[in-house]
Chains A and B, each alone.
Chain A
Amino acid sequence: MINLNKVKLFIFVFFAVALYSFSSLEYKDNDSKADKSLEAFQTVLEVLRSPRCMNCHPSNDVPKVGDDRHAHLFGVVRGADDHAGPVQMCSTCHQDENNEYSLVPGAPHWGLAPKSMGWEGLTDAELGAVLLDTTMNGNRSPEDLVKHMSEDALVLWAWEPGGERSTPPVPLNEFKAALRTWLDNGAKVPE
């Protein structure tokens, strides 16, 4: 005789175990995605913290120059729209490309990032939070951020700055791959 209660119990235990294993697998999967995203974000941070990026992302109103990140000469300051001025604008000297005669560097829309995107002195978590905060990042979704960081001509100039200028510590293709991994795995930032 089949004991109906035993069968019921067996079925219950079977499904409970299956459900538990399945959900813990899912958790594990989520954990490893988050880890991947966070790991990729560290690569992204290495780039963001390089002088090539940081010099135009100051937390104050003074653009920085060079690997020693000294203040821009001539008392240049941010100005009303992040392009200095109102008399001497960034474009007074900087054009859309490096100038081989004057040796003045240039790229499209040369200027500072908005003050809300000043990164100087921020911890990893603070920088991550600022990056994702749409009220501070120019209303950019994580996808928009990746697009900006991998396609904007002024950002890309960092890898071809000309002269003796250093480039970011991560090659462009690796940086782009890290951005993709960061995004595809949930755009996680440290807490």
Chain B
Amino acid sequence: MKISFKINGDQKTIDVDPNMPLLWVVRDELNLKATKYGCGKGMCGACSLHVDGKLHRSCSYPVKFAEGKAITTLEGLSKNENDLHPVQQAWIDENVPQCGYCQPGFMMAAAKLLQEIPNPTTEDIKQNISNICRCGTQPRIIKAIKRAAELNNAKTS
């Protein structure tokens, strides 16, 4: 079945099984490798991306539901490396990743969190992001999200 959507600003049409997880489409059909396959069961958050501005776990999102919508993956969070999204910059500033596998999912969740809660407390972060990091980088993630909030505020003030 032909399915059309925008991804990171580019219009795409693909011809796949309509029930194929969006994660597979993103990684294997469109060769965008930031979004990761962790559990495949909607539990770890490694596959998080945005569809029409909403946070989704793409392993649990049939691509047919993306018809006509706009998808953003970590690759599309900023336009280029000279103009990073506050979350990307903060992740560099705080040296967040260990193995890095979970990080794209966390960053997409963090970007959404800052839209909804521009100045999140530690509790806000813990309550609203349930992604899993097996390397134990959560303390650095929390620091980085607060740093991203500062960067964001500086940018918009």
Contacts and interface: CB of A to CB of B under 8 A. Distances in A.
A binds B: yes
Interface of A: 73-77, 85-89, 91-97, 99-104
Contacts of B109: 87-88
A152 B135 CA distance: 44
A87 B129 contact: yes
Per CB-CB distance, the 10 closest pairs between chain A and chain B, nearest first, are: A74-B130, A102-B60, A93-B42, A87-B128, A86-B116, A104-B60, A104-B42, A87-B113, A102-B42, A93-B60
Interface of B: 19, 21, 40-43, 48, 54-57, 59-62, 65, 109, 112-113, 116-117, 127-130
B130 A101 contact: no
Q: Is the interface of A mostly helix, strand, loop or mixed?
A: loop
Nearest to A74: B130
B7 to A, nearest CB: 18
Contacts of B21: 101-102
A65 B43 CA distance: 14
A89 B129 CA distance: 11
Contacts of B19: 100-101
A76 B129 CA distance: 10
A103 B41 contact: yes
A85 B43 CA distance: 16
A86 B117 contact: yes
A10 B60 CA distance: 83
